[in-house]
Structure 1
Amino acid sequence: MTIKEAQARIKARVWQAVAQTELDLSALDKETLNSFVELVTESALLEIDSELDVSNLKMSPQQADEDDDEFGEEILWQGRPLLSLVFYYTVTNERIKITSGLLGKTHENVELIRVQDIDHSQTFGERMLKIGDITIRSHDPSHPEIVLRNVQNPSGVYEILRRAVLNARKRHNFSYREEM
């Protein structure tokens, strides 16, 4: 189920609860009632997401051991898409790691020095939930484009990635030359 589908289902459930309640809401104008339902829907989605965070920590205690990198990589940011149990993103000072799967795990890695361009975008609904997508284009032949979907605080994560890429290039004396 996508976030938009979950949002629509929660909103429908809230409207149904409002219709079935014995409260007299006739004093509220339609715009105020719509704003209230939107607020309740967003709050419900964020609460579900935070509950998924808690249950994800309880389900995988070995995740902390995997994150302690024996090669000295510094973890700059970790996160997962809103309402997701199967994707987990990690940005270190050397690479971007994407782990997917609930029972079986798949790992994708993109070295930061291979990253060419980073963009981030938000739809109106994503702006309300403070989430967005980050698109990463790289010279990696197996993953030329990666999208980190429904990331919380996408502009902050974008800045972390941008600085990490610049630092990795500087550390490895790597630069791009554009031809005209």
Structure 2
Amino acid sequence: MPYCTTCGAEYRSGSKFCGECGASTGAAPGHPAAANQDRSLESVLWEGKAAGISDRLKGLVGLNTTLYTLTSQRIMVKTGLIGKNIEEIELLRVNDFSVGQSIAERMLGIGTLTVFSDDASSPELLFRRIRKVQEVKDILRTAVRNEKLANNISYREQI
């Protein structure tokens, strides 16, 4: 928890004023607390659907129900027409990723992005048949690096 720079009392993250002395907690630009608040805002970096031939036909009639979303903090895969299933992985938990493309997929400009993480519920998350898969991988790689740097997490190889 953060501490007030005026009286030294501990206050809750996100508070605008100290509970002890009433001083501002630093919402001014350039203050470390303001930087933390800016980092807490989540923005969508990429969003897409499966783009194979059958997926495009499903999209014409509104049945392409899988939505992939990459934000500045997490990855989400939403599936389902009537009932919804949402899988999420925090970017801090991502370990690695790979891209796979068959010959037919290369001709269509699509591929599968596999995200490997230490998340217990979904250690492998697949983005199947997405357009410009290499560009999406690069966006994901940059987002993971930025999130880990912002949270002072470094890579370590285990022997």
- Structure 2 partner of 1:124: 103
- Structure 1 partner of 2:44: 75
Aligned to 1:149, which of 128, 151, 154? 128
- Structure 2 partner of 1:158: 137
C-alpha separation in 2, matches of 1:155 and 1:123: 14
- Structure 1 partner of 2:89: 110
Counterpart residue identity of residue 101, structure 1 = G
Q: TM-score, normalised by structure 2?
A: 0.67
- Superposed displacement of residue 128, structure 1: 0.5
C-alpha separation in 2, matches of 1:72 and 1:163: 17
**Number of residue pairs matched by the alignment:** 110
Aligned to 1:97, which of 67, 70, 76? 76
Q: What are structure 1's unaligned runs of at least 5 residues? A: 1-70
SS of corresponding position for 2:112: strand
What does 1:42-61 correspond to in 2, within 5 Å? none
After superposing on structure 2, the runs of 4+ consecutive aligned residues of structure 1 that deviate more than 2 Å are none
C-alpha separation in 2, matches of 1:89 and 1:179: 31
SS of corresponding position for 1:73: coil
C-alpha separation in 1, matches of 2:158 and 2:101: 31
State, as a whole percentage, how many aligned pairs show the same letter: 41
- Structure 1 partner of 2:67: 88
Q: What are structure 2's unaligned runs of at least 5 residues? A: 1-39, 59-63
- Superposed displacement of residue 103, structure 1: 1.5
C-alpha separation in 1, matches of 2:67 and 2:158: 37
- Superposed displacement of residue 106, structure 1: 1.0
- Superposed displacement of residue 72, structure 1: 2.6
- Structure 1 partner of 2:11: none
- Superposed displacement of residue 148, structure 1: 0.5
